[in-house]
Amino acid sequence: MVYRRKYTNMEERLVNILNEMAEYLSIAQMKKLQEVLLKNLNESETAKSEITNQDYLTMFLEAKKIEGCSMRTLQYYKVTIEKLLENVACNIRKISTEEIRTYLSDYQKINNCGQVTIDNIRRNISSFFSWLEEEDYILKSPMRRIHKIKTKQQVKEVISDEAIEKLRDSCSCKRDLAIIDLLYSTGIRVGELVNLNISDVDFELRECVVFGKGNKERRVYFDAKAKLHLQNYLESRTDNNPALFVTLDDPHDRLKISGVEIRLRKLGRKLNLNKIHPHKFRRTMATRAIDKGMPIEQVQKILGHSQIDTTMQYAIVNQNNVKTSHQKYIA
């Protein structure tokens, strides 16, 4: 009986290289090639084996930070991947597809979370392993065979015209009224809103410059109502802060994301309106624009989406419009 030695991945690659080069090199050259390959491959493997799982995560987060990911996104990556690392005993370079699949399945059962949450976790982990592969820390990502998890396509609510009027009427200060109309007419993210400076706003052209995800600059446009309320708010201010929106009390610091979210939530609850939050204004703006016939590519540009698929998720088809179109074209 002939016993064949089982090669490691590195040895197998080495043998393949030597076999392919055998017909082109002399015996002396082959020996030298083998020495050089062994030396370099061993050094590379040793260096990689000294890197800990935490080191890989730190390097990944640094890379994402350079790409322009927000602190919130970086924190989500960190928490998601740290939980995975806590549950694997081996070096991350040796983890298998089956182990990750088991981890995701167990996580869903233990935490009783939905498909959307699990798919978000899968996407974060996949991004981490794709980076490891691109940086040559692993040969192939174990996430390649773990595909997108199917989720129910929920039709999310938008803010009705009547609800917008109620919100406007309930505002007790000029700042909140300006915030509502700027969000409603531009569809900007709440993070973009709080980072705006007065100097970023051009009242004559009714436009402002915002810096979106990845620090990408774009122009957005607001309507006459938002212009009027913004000007009234700025005229009422007595501070020198360059921020477009500031706190109501001294020392009038730049308004934070949480400040906007809390304020809008309170207004919504006071009026018994369902889940009023900044992102709902963004979805509403996108839906209104598409309902009125704006090309999806232009909506994508206004919202600052790099992928048109993302824009399509915001664009809810109004059922009344579907009925009207059916009567017009079919009935």
3-state secondary structure of 205: coil
| Per-residue pLDDT at 42 exceeds 50 | yes
Return the exposure string of 105-115: e unless at least 16 CB atoms fall within 10 Å of the residue's CB, then b: eebbeeeeeee
| Per-residue pLDDT at 2 exceeds 50 | no
Q: What percent of the chain stands above pLDDT 70?
A: 86
Backbone angles phi, psi at 238, to 5 degrees: -115, 0
Binned at pLDDT 50, 70 and 90, residue 4 comes out as very low
Separation CA 40–CA 38 (nearest Å): 6
Q: What percent of the chain stands above pLDDT 90?
A: 53
Tell me the residue type at 179.
I
Q: Of 162, 163, 128, 164, which Cα lies nearest the Cα of 143?
A: 128
311 or 247: which leads in pLDDT? 247
Q: Is the dihedral of CA 277, 282, 284, 287 positive or negative?
A: negative
Contacting residues for 297 by C-beta, under 8 A, at least 6 apart: 308
Ranking 46-50, 66-70, 181-185 by mean pLDDT, the lowest is 46-50
| Interval 245-260 mean pLDDT | 95
Which class for 329: exposed (0-12), middle (13-18), buried (19 or more C-beta within 10 A)?
A: exposed
| Per-residue pLDDT at 192 exceeds 50 | yes
What pLDDT does residue 43 have? Answer: 55
What pLDDT does residue 45 have? Answer: 56
Q: Round the average pLDDT of the chain to a whole number and report it.
A: 86
| Per-residue pLDDT at 153 exceeds 80 | no
N- to C-terminal Cα distance for the chain?
Answer: 80
Separation CA 212–CA 214 (nearest Å): 6
Separation CA 205–CA 7 (nearest Å): 69
| Interval 156-175 mean pLDDT | 93
Whether residue 295 has a cis bond before it, omega within 30° of 0: no
